[in-house]
Each structure stands twice: as structure tokens, then as C-alpha cells.
Amino acid sequence: IAVHAQGIIHRDIKPENLLLDADNRVKITDFGVSQFTNGKDDTVDYMAGTPAFLAPEAITQERFAGKPCAIWALGVSLSALIFGCLPFLSDSYIQVYELIKSAPVEFPKPISASLQDLFSKILDKDPRTRITLPQIQQHPWVNADGELPTEMPTFERLNVTDEDVSNAIT
């Protein structure tokens, strides 16, 4: 959420790019293919990222909304973390893309109704009806104990100078 508040679309959410800190908070790494957006328009204009984590619209459209793609990649990552495998996998990228676009999501083992509901909403092939980050936060599977805040935090956009960028990597 904080990344999106800064106008950044990561574009390569996957388990390898998610780290846990000492307090078990997830930290996102590797912003190599990320893209800045301006304001509330999160449109991105080219496909980027790891093929098995791409959303259907990133494969089929030239321009698409970035936030729903991040939700999709989060769902694929969650599947990998829970089941130890990806939901759409094949020996060729072309076949992976076809599976992402048209294959139903199948799970290698039984899961709770709540988790199945979450996956159906995160891996919704239609980005217009795909669940949003605030909705994920309130989903019963995520918030089983009712301990997450009901209000989403707000983040002010940071102003990054050219000097900040040049000093970011030494």
C-alpha cells in the first residue's frame, strides 16, 4: 500500500522479492522493473516482470492498470508460499501465458472455504472485478482474528530529488 501511495507500481511481485523483517513485516525488494505513475492513474504501458506472475491483462493488453496486476502477482505468490508451487506452470512461456489467460485456478490440496474465496477474488481474470488491497485487508482469511485496523493507513507521497537517486546506489 505504501508503495502504491508513492505512485510506484512494482511490476515484479514474487516470493523472491518479499522479505520478512525482525517483526514479521513483509518488505518488498527489487524495484528494477517498477514504474512511477502520476496521481491516481496507475496505467502502465508495457509488460514487465516474471512470466508466471503476470496478470492476464498484462499479457493481452498494451496498456493496463498496474494495481490490479500487483494484486494478481500477490495471489500467485501466496499460492507459491502455501502450496510450494505456482498455479499456472508449464515448460514454455507461451503455454504459461495461455494458462494464465484461460485456465481455471486449481489447488494441489484441499483448502478452507475462506482461503478458496480469497484466491477466487485475487486471481480473478477480470482486473475490473479483482479484489483491492483494502478489501484483502478486510477479508476473513487475512483478518481471521479481527485485529487488523478497519481504516487503511494513509501515506504522503515522498519527493525524491535527483541527488537522492544518484546517492541511492553506491
Judge contact between 105 and 119, C-beta under 8 A.
yes
CA 59-64-66 angle, to 5 degrees, is 100
C-alpha cell at 11: 511490476
DSSP 75-101: HHHHHHHHHSS-SS--SSHHHHHHHHH
What dihedral do alpha carbons 152, 158, 164, 165 form, nearest 10°? 70
- 107/58 Cα distance (integer angstroms): 23
Task: Determine which one of 12, 41, 45, 164 is catalytic.
Answer: 12
Q: Measured in whole angstroms, how far is the alpha carbon of residue 94 from the centre of its chain?
A: 21
> Does 12 participate in catalysis according to the annotation?
yes
Report how far apart, in Å, the C-alpha atoms of 3 and of each of 28, 37, 100, 139 are: 9, 11, 25, 21
Which residues are tagged catalytic?
12
